[in-house]
Amino acid sequence: MTALFILAALLFAVTLWWLSRPLRDVAALSVTSERADLEQLRDRLVAQLNELDAERADRGIDSTVAQDEELRLSAELASALKQLEVLAPSAAGAAATLPRRAVLAVSAVLAVLLLLIGGGLYAWRNAGNVQGFMLAADSGTDSARVPPMVFEMVAKLEKRLAAQPNDAEGWARLGRSYVVMERKDKALAAYAKAYELAPDNIAVLSDYAWLVFNESPGATTGLVATLYSRLNKLEPAHPDALWFLGFSAYQQGDYRKALGVWERLLKLLPAEDPGREHLKQAITSAREKQRR
């Protein structure tokens, strides 16, 4: 992307220089033509004064007429010399006046064109991101927390699953994407479809059960109990299923069963697992309630 901006800047500079050349040439030509006219007038007036001096020396002209003519020619010569004097130091500025205005106008036009071209190139190179931003805006999701490519991926996945609705893994991926996008209702629906197609898939079952539990963390009956019980049956050592079964027993006042499940889980958890401390506290609580 940086290279694109550098290239655009170089193109802008070169184009601006190229387009301003004719303008500079026109202005310079105008200044040169004016100077040439003044220099010709100066030379002609000097020649006429010299001729007047020659005629005066030869006494071929009346002195009064010669004086009047000399005054006229001298006044014109002084005016021409003054214009040449003013034109000389400001020639560069005069040559730049017209191009500067024209260059500003050309610059504005080029800037707009480059913005349009740059925007088009960016959209072409990053079409997925642009589409993702648009989808994020339409969804109302906080797009600052979700990369725009996620929205594009979800849109493609939705389209594919509409054509191939029996892809359990695809529905699970869609469900995970909806979780990231905080579309909980759609995530539940996608996982329900994945579970329907693959009820014995451990990953699908585990994710679906976790999602259902987090919808109502205090609930331990109904669908969530069915899912975790099935997960425990398919994989007896699955930590999520063991934790839920212990929690369910604890909620129902069966502290002995809760202790048996949780103590088994404690043996399975690695020593560095941060969940061990929480589990120990739960076991302590169950023991205290059992003694009462």
Highest mean pLDDT among 12-21, 37-46, 126-135, 183-192: 183-192
What predicted TM-score, i.e. pTM, was given to this entire model? 0.53
The distance of Cα 223 from the centroid of its chain, to the nearest Å, equals: 44
Angle at 286 between CA 285 and CA 290, to 5 degrees: 120
CA-based diameter of the chain, in Å? 149
| Between 270 and 7, residue with greater pLDDT | 270
Contacts of 41 (CB under 8 A, 6+ apart): 76, 80
283 pLDDT more than 70: yes
Q: What is the mean pLDDT of residues 159-179?
A: 92
- Whether the CB-CB separation of 4 and 118 falls below 8 Å is answered with yes
Domains 141-198 and 199-292 alike in fold? yes
Strands (E), the chain: none
What tokens does 90 get?
A: 């400001």
Return the CATH number of the domain spanning residue range 199-292: 1.25.40.10
What are phi and psi for residue 25, nearest 5 degrees? -65, -40
pLDDT attached to residue 49: 67
Instruction: 75-80: list long-range contacts, CB under 8 Å, 24+ apart.
Output: 76/41, 76/45, 77/42, 77/45, 77/46, 77/49, 80/38, 80/41, 80/42, 80/45
- The domain 141-198 having CATH identifier 1.25.40.10: the answer here is yes
101 pLDDT more than 60: no
For the chain, the domains span: 2-125, 141-198, 199-292
